Amino acid sequence: MALLTPEQQRQVEDAVTRAEQHTDAEIVTVLAPRADDYSYIPLLWASLIALVLPAVVHFLNSGLATYTLLMLQWASFVFLSLIFRIPAITTRLIPPRVRHWRASNLARRQFLEQKLHHTAGRTGVLIFVSEAERYVEILVDEGISRHLDDSDWGTIVSDFVRRVALGHTAEGFITCIDACAEVLAQHIPKTQARNQLPNRLVML
């Protein structure tokens, strides 16, 4: 999982500053390493496998003693619980729908926590990324959704997701911000000088 360096964070901040020179939109960028720790996932999978494994082993070798099967069950549970805690493995054990649901929930919480719903003209724009889930979402307040709908962001988000998957998160942010700026400048052009929200990248 790629963590952005201070220099990369500054480049993202500079991109936001440039973008807001041409639009009344208030852009906030948020980067989360993951949307959840999914602490229950390793235990769930380890339990399921440990429950099934003795039956499979007994079917293949019915001569094993009950004590041996019980020890095998406990050993497999402990071993798998530890192995499945490795982040790269944990992520692959989570159904995509669950990963995206958790990331989407976090994005909406961040929209509120970063006070994007309190901007003058309701022109807040959140560019949210959760790296582990390879999840990108652009959330906008009603002052922008009146002029643009979700389909206007689809291509931008898809390109960003591809860059996150390749480990190019910083590049993805800058490209995404520049693309959003072009769209926003057309529909929400700059009418007054203001900067209500910080331009720095929020790292969770």
Same domain, residue pair 124 and 186: yes
Quick one: 100 and 141 in the same domain? yes
Cβ neighbours, 10 Å, residue 152:
17
Q: Is residue 44 part of a domain?
A: yes
Q: How many domains does the chain have?
A: 2
User: 55 with 155, same domain?
Assistant: no
Range of the domain at 68: 40-93
- Both 134 and 194 in one domain: the answer is yes
pLDDT at 1 over 50: no
Residue whose C-alpha is closest to residue 51's, from 34, 72, 67: 72
Residues 71, 104: one domain?
Answer: no
Q: Is 189 found in the same domain as 149?
A: yes
Q: Say if residues 35 and 58 touch (Cβ distance below 8 Å).
A: no
Clarify whether residues 89 and 100 are in a common domain. Answer: no
Instruction: Say whether both 60 and 151 belong to one domain.
Output: no
Both 104 and 167 in one domain: the answer is: yes
Tokens representing 4 are 């952005």
110/148 same-domain check? yes
pLDDT tens digit sequence for 114-123: 999 988 889 9
Same domain, 51 and 79: yes
Of 161, 153, 180, the C-alpha closest to 26 is 180
Task: For 28-62, write each residue's pLDDT tens digit.
Answer: 999 999 888 777 788 888 888 888 888 888 778 77
Total-model pTM: 0.80
Q: Is the per-residue pLDDT at 70 higher than 50?
A: yes
Domain membership of residue 32 (yes or no) is: yes
pLDDT in tens, 161-196: 999 999 999 999 999 999 999 999 999 899 887 888
Listed residues 73, 93, 113: the one ending a domain: 93
Q: Report the pLDDT averaged over residues 81-107.
A: 86
Q: What is the CATH number of the domain that holds 143?
A: 3.10.310.50
Residues 157 and 174 in one domain: yes
